[in-house]
Structure formats: structure tokens, C-alpha cells
Amino acid sequence: VRVEAFTAALAVVYGSSLLFCFFYLFIAPFEAPVMLALFFMPALLWQKRRIGCLHLALIGAALVWLSWKILGRPAILMLLLPTCQILAIRLTGSVQNRYSRDGSSITVQLSSTQKEQMRKPGQKDSADWWEIIRPEIVAFPERVKDMWTDFTGDAPRRHQGSESVLDLELLKMQNARVMSHALTSIKKRDACFASDVFLKRVERLFWKVQNAWYDQNLETIQALVSDALYEQLKCQVDSQRAMGVRYRHSKMTVYDMRIAQVNCDNSFDVIHVFIRASSADAAIDIKTGETLAANDEGRKFSEYWTLIRRPSAKTLQKPGLIEGSCPNCGAPIVIGQATVCAVCNSFIRSGFYDWVLAKITQACEWEYKEPGLIPDWHSMKSVDADFTLQQIEDRTGVIFWMMRLAERSQSIAPMQRFSTEAFCDLYQSTIVERGYNYMENVALASVSLKGFKIGKHWDSMFVLVIWSGVPTMLDKNNKVIEARRTSQVMRQIYILGRRHGVKTDQKNTLSSAHCPGCGGPLGSAFAVSCSYCNAVLNEGSNAWILERIAVENDKDYLEALARKTACESELEEDNETRSARDVITIMAQILLADGRSIPAEMQLLNKIAQCYDMSETQVNAIIQSLKAGLVYIPAPADNRESWNLLMAAARMALADDEISPTEERELILLAQHLGYSASDVVRAVKAEEKRRFAEQREEQQRIAREKMHAEAMEKAAERDSDQEKDDEDEDQ
């Protein structure tokens, strides 16, 4: 009742302000526009976060004083301010695309489809101005909290369009010597491979994927990407269509594209390409064509695109997958032909012939761990020599998106071919108990293999899946229940199993949504057997299937983490990179251990987040999920993992080459929880500074060598030219 009364009171305030402005323009046609403009500009700057609370108060006081002295109307501010805020919200309405990872509402305005989903039987449409201010009213308590925090100066508000202090060297992650060795290894096996030519193909792939996603026509890229990535993009497009929204991009620009990391083993050559780009997006209502929200300025985003191929593959001297042709025989690829070529019957996405886009990772989610560091990795490789991380990431990704489809459709059918019967029965009973709810704006952050449990008859593995989404509830009439759209961060352990002795099929590494036996497409009827070869899909005799979903304090999971690999000491520290999201989550968990959070203590968290293009919404979502008990990260299992975590925090803290006293206190607090002292923090910072200095020196030496080589080539060309002239003179 109190909430309804408060909402009604605010509606009266805004409605009265609009009515006053309407008559004000008629009564004083010259004075009213001037006053509206004067009061509107501070509201616009505040909404854009260009000015703080104190500045807004000072400007407002000055305008009140001027209106009192000149017009004799000191109360006009209170009458005009609500209308000015509505106009400011309308003009600063921003759209959050798939790059932002923000879990709040997609647009300031709801689409006509969303309004229809929320409208109760017999209810009329709400006024347009009410749709504009409703998000502000719902978020009013948080706005008051932000204003107080801003006023006290504990946490300065971040400019909405501010540039991050992104450190490209920090994002590079891989040692230059290690990368050079890996690229040389590829060059020895493939004499035609050239980094610049490879990056040009990646750029063409980038634009092809962007256009397919914005046009909601993903079938054109299905043959270029893994099944997991295709299902991810397809789920996003299906969610947009369900909400009646589509996106339009403009001013999209690629600022930087470079090879960030190269890893080679007996199974795959893997190249991770760092892409820095920007786009000014707009959200369009599919039914009406109305622009719901738009960004005038391009928002920058940073991603890692992971491409893989087999070590035996050679650089094509003809059109390949990116160009729309079969990389083996050259026949054109038709829509729907994603796995097997209809002409030569080759598995076109197997990596035997061309590079395939395996995944797209946000910069803040980027992490890498040498497979040899995973407990029982070598034990699994001994029983299945073709086992690869890429196949597991693809398989788990497909299962994750099938789970989201099952939630949305309120049916276990999409999961039946990917999980055990016991899991399906348990999940179906859970749906009945908790009612119908699902997640919107789902963002899959990362999928990482953590360990194994190998038995005599059945093998299991533990995969950490980090994702976020906005909970959505439906009532008994299948109408969306209006509530504040707050993002939740989830960390779940997917436990997958299969029969002991089953081998990985190299041809189907990135085709987890297809039959593991014949590679044929699985029908939409969600049958548990393949319609082409009749292979049973949910008994673990062909591929990994989902046994259950747990959290990170699960007993079996902790036991798997406790088992260590014998050869860890042989691996370099560069072989493990922790994601910024992980570091932020662990640090936030430690800072919240006393049950409260001080804004000043979050300074380092915000600094790390800004370095990796993470928004305030994402950091707040992590903190709220920790407070609600939805997220729990177990303590590091050993000294090596603890030290790597402290080093990762020190590396991120030094992103701008300096550490403030507050950030130093946070590092010391983190170290104490990990069992280290303040002197260890100093040692970690010095080690990071030494590493950065060595990398910078190595990079300078590389640039100097390239310059000397270019000068030598230029001199050689000049000598050849002079020699040719001399020969011509002698001939004459």
C-alpha cells in the first residue's frame, strides 16, 4: 500500500508539472521557453552524469535566486524540474547492446510487445510520459542512495560516455617470446600463413557476424561459428523478437585488431584476436518501427575472438568458410548446411580445412589456463587422446542455451537429448514447485573446465559456468509481473558425464548441437535419438551429458579441485590468466565478509572494472549477488593459486602505473585473507613492475629489430636499383 501511495504521489507531481508547463507556454510564450531551457540544461547534464550532486544543487540555487530577483517567482524550480527531468530522460535514453553486459532494462521505453505482455485483461495503455518516468520511479530508492554517495564524495559517479583507461598491454596477456614461438611453430607447418593476411580475414568475419546479428539473420553465419556460439547468438535474437525489439548500429568503427595469444598443441592451433571497436546503437520497436532509445555517441567495447583449426591445416589459396565456400572442395555453402558439405561430404567446421570461430569473449571475462594445470587432465588424456577443451566448451555452451530455452518454454523437452533422465525428472518437478519464471537479457560470461572424476564405468567432469540475466516472472494469466529489472550474476557448476572408454570424435568438436555419431542436424522435435543414424543421445555412450547443476561449495567439486597435477611445477606462470570478473568477485567477497561495504573500499574494484570496460551496473550486480548468497567462490586450494590471485590483483591495480593508498589497503586486506602479509604485497607489486619493464624492453627491442630490418631491406632495394642503372648504362 505504501509503495502504491508513493507511486501515485509521484505521478501527481509529474502530471502537475506537465500541466503547469503547458499553460505556462500559453501565458508567457517568450519567458517560458527561456526558463525551460535554463532549468533543462542542468537536468540534462545530471542525467548524462556530466555534473555531480553538489554542482546540481549549486546551479539550482543560483537559478532560484535569479528567478526570484528577476521574475519574483522563487518556486518556479519545483514546478519546472519534473518536466525537465522527463525531457532529459527522453534525450539521454541509452540502449544496452550485447557488448555492454548490463543486466538492467534494455531500453528506457518498453516496446509495444512488452507493454502487451504486461497489460492485464481490460487494462488500457499507459500514457507515454508515464512510460518514460516509470523506470526512474521504480529505481527511486537507489537514485537517492547514489545521490547521497555522490554528495559525500565516497564514490564519484562515472561519466556514462567516459573512455576507460584500457591498458592494451595489460589485455595482451601473453609474453611476446611465447607468442613469437607459437607463431613460428604455425609458420613451419604452414609456409603460407601470414599474420596480416589472417587478421584481414578476421576483420571480414567481424563485419559478417555483426551484420548477421543486427539483421537477425544468423543462418548466414552458421557454418562459420561453433554450435555454442550460434546457439548463444540465436538465443539473443529470439529474446529480442519475443520482446519486440531489434537493434540498429551506426558509426561502427574498429579501432584495434591484434593477435593477443596463440596456443598450439597436438589437437588444435588456437589464435585469440583482441578487437577494440565502438558502435552507436539504437533499439527499434519491431511492430511500430519507433526508435525506443538510441546512443548518439559510439560506445567502445573490447572482445577476444577465438579461432581454431587443426595443426595439419594449411592456409587456403582459394575462398573458404569466411567467403562462403566449402574449404575442402570450394562448393558454395547453402543456408542450413552447417556441418557436412553436400558435395564432398567433408565436415566443414572440423578445423581440418580452415579457421572456425569458436567463441567471443568480453575483455572482462578473458582468462586462460594451461590444460596441464587442470586436475586429472593427463589421466583423461590417457584414456581419450583426442579430448580437447574446445569440444567441452562448445558442448557445455550448447547445454547452457538449451537450459535457457527450457526455462522460456516451460518445458524440459529441449534438455532431454543433452541430460540424463534423472536430471530431467528433477528439473520438471522444480518447475512445478517454483512456478514459471525465466531470465531475460542473458549473457554467458565464461565456460571453464575445472576438474574430473574418472571411474571404472562412468567419467564425470566439472565445468564452471558464469552468466547473468534479469529474472522475469509471469502470473497465472501468463502476463509479465512488473518489477524492477535487476541483473543477477550466477556461478554454477555443470557436472557432465559419459560412459568410461567413450572416445572424442575430432570431426564434431564444434558441432555439439548435431548428432555426435553422424553429424546430422537434430530435429526440432527434441527426440532423444538421431533421425538419421538412430543413435541414442542421452545415455552417455556417444557424448557428454548433463548429470546435475551444483554450486561452488559442492563436496564433489571441492574434492576434484583438491587433486593436483604432478607436472604443475614444470609450467610457467604465464600459462594461467585469471579474468577481471573473477578477481573483482573474489575481492568483493572478501570486502563483504564483515557484512557491510564501504564505498571507499570499492575504489580498486571500480578501477579494475573501468580498465576492462565493466560498467557500474555489472559491479553492483556482482555485489548484490554476493549479498543475496547467489554467488560463492571457494578459497584458493593451494599457495600457488593464492599467489596467482594476488599477482593478478596487483597487475590490475597497476593498470595506470600507480597504486593509491586506498588501493594498497585493499591489496593488503586481500593478501591477509589469502595468508600473506603486507611485505608480500610489496613483493607482488615489485614483481609485476619488473615483469612490465621486461615486456616493455622486449617490445622496444622487437620494434628496433623490425626497424633495422626495414632499413636493411630499403638499402638492399637501393643497391639493386643502382646496380640495374649501372647495367643499363654499360649496355648503352
Give me the half-sphere count of Cα atoms (radius 13 Å) on the Cβ side of residue 475. 11
Tell me if the pTM is above 0.85. Answer: no
Structure-derived torsion over alpha carbons of residues 202, 204, 206, 207, reported in degrees to the nearest 10? 170
d(CA 272, CA 202): 11
d(CA 714, CA 718): 6
pLDDT of residue 123: 54
d(CA 487, CA 49): 21
CB 493 within 8 A of CB 400: no
d(CA 68, CA 7): 31
Which residue in 523, 521, 660 sits closest to 600, CA to CA? Answer: 660
d(CA 225, CA 160): 33
First to last CA, the chain: 105
Beta strands at 356-362 and 291-294: parallel, antiparallel or unpaired? unpaired
Taking each helix axis from N to C terminus, what angle separates 76-91 and 53-66, rounded to the nearest 10 degrees? 130
Question: Residues of the chain whose pLDDT is less than 70?
Answer: 1-8, 10, 47-49, 52-53, 89-173, 175, 296, 335-338, 431-436, 475-485, 510, 513-538, 564-576, 593-604, 613, 635, 637-638, 655-656, 732
d(CA 664, CA 607): 13
pLDDT of residue 160: 39
DSSP letter string, 197-262: HHHHHHHHHHHHHHHHHHTT-GGGGTTTB-HHHHHHHHHHHHHHHHHTEEEEEEEEEEEEEEEEEE
Which residue in 192, 212, 162 sits closest to 49, CA to CA? Answer: 162
DSSP E strands in 474-596: the ranges are 488-499, 545-550, 576-577
d(CA 659, CA 648): 14
Q: What are the chain's domains? A: 2-92+126-152 (no CATH), 165-361 (3.10.450.240), 367-576 (3.10.450), 580-688 (no CATH)
CB 82 within 8 A of CB 13: yes
- The neighbouring-strand residues paired with 493 are 464, 550
**Cα→Cα distances 173→156, 166, 501, 574, 665, Å:** 30, 13, 37, 8, 26
Which cell is 247 given?
537493434
Give me the half-sphere count of Cα atoms (radius 13 Å) on the Cβ side of residue 703. 6
Residue 83: DSSP 8-state: H
**Which SS3 state, helix, strand or coil, does residue 469 take?**
strand
Helix and strand numbers (H, E) in the chain are 21, 11
| Those residues with Cβ within 8 angstroms of residue 695's Cβ, 6 or more apart along the chain or in another chain | 169, 175, 176
d(CA 84, CA 10): 15
**Cα→Cα distances 53→44, 137, 145, 146, 205, Å:** 13, 18, 12, 9, 45
d(CA 137, CA 727): 85
pLDDT of residue 547: 92
Which cell is 142 given?
537507489
DSSP E strands in 15-133: the ranges are none
**Which SS3 state, helix, strand or coil, does residue 294 take?**
strand
d(CA 398, CA 511): 9
Q: How many residues does the chain have?
A: 732
What phi and psi values does residue 532 have, to the nearest 5 degrees? -100, -50
Alpha-helix runs per DSSP H in 28-75: 31-47, 53-66
3-state SS, one letter per residue, for 652-675: HHHHHCCCCHHHHHHHHHHHHHCC
**Which SS3 state, helix, strand or coil, does residue 280 take?**
strand
pLDDT tens digit string along 534-548? 666 667 788 899 999
Looking up cell 501515485 gives: 8
DSSP E strands in 269-382: the ranges are 269-285, 291-294, 299-309, 356-362, 368-369
Q: Which residues of 286-309 are buried (b: 16+ CB within 10 A; e: fewer)?
A: beeeeebbbbeebbbbbbbbbbbb
Which cell is 281 given?
546503437
pLDDT of residue 386: 85
d(CA 446, CA 491): 10
Query: Beta-carbon neighbour count of residue 349 at 10 Å?
Result: 29
pLDDT of residue 518: 60
**Which SS3 state, helix, strand or coil, does residue 462 take?**
strand
**Cα→Cα distances 473→101, 410, 436, 480, 481, Å:** 21, 12, 6, 6, 6
Residue type, position 254, single letter: V
d(CA 267, CA 576): 19
Sequence-distant contacts of 421-428: CB under 8 A, at least 24 apart = 421/538, 422/547, 423/546, 423/547, 423/548, 426/548
CB 565 within 8 A of CB 378: yes
Which cell is 678 given?
603486507
